Amino acid sequence: MIRTHVTFVAEAFQPNNDESALQDGPSPAGGELARFIASSLAGRGIGVKPPDPIEEDYGHVIGVSSERRRFWVHVGAYPSERSNWLVFVTSRLFVLWRLLGRDDTEDLARICMALDHLLKTTDGMKLIRWHHESDLVSGDEDHAAGSPGGVFPPT
């Protein structure tokens, strides 16, 4: 099962420590990071619509598309000892379509791998750790991996 949630430190995009992304809304640095991710993914052949991230109460969201499917890339501050950002990818495929046998796993993996490559090739991005959603929800950050499909702990 692919990991869709990534936590990391972005030296060029520092959230204000006095603000809580969950209580005070998105930080300006989060908007800058979301715009950077959107333009970088677009430059890697990933469709980005609309071109500017949408501001949400928790951070920002970017509409992206792979060859056949559409996804959301969510960007928000993540106050943790190990990271300061959380980015995760969710499918826009309706449950009904899933019940009828449509699958977007391959396209989801493509988006996550493009995001992984972007983070790993950008100066100042460090402590990149991929998680399963269920692990983060339960507060378990110890089962992270170094890539979306990885099985080994990150280095």
Q: Is the pLDDT of residue 90 over 80?
A: yes
Q: Which domain holds residue 67?
A: 5-137
At 4 the pLDDT is 93
CATH number of the domain residue 63 falls in:
3.30.310
In a domain, 146, yes or no: no
- pLDDT-derived band at 150 (thresholds 50, 70, 90) equals low
Domain assignment present for 19? yes
Q: Which residues of 16-38 are buried (b: 16+ CB within 10 A; e: fewer)?
A: eeebebeeeebbebbbbbbbbbb
Write down the pTM of the prediction: 0.85
Q: Is the dihedral of CA 104, 91, 110, 66 positive or negative?
A: positive
Q: Work out how many domains the chain is built from and give that number.
A: 1
150 found inside a domain: no
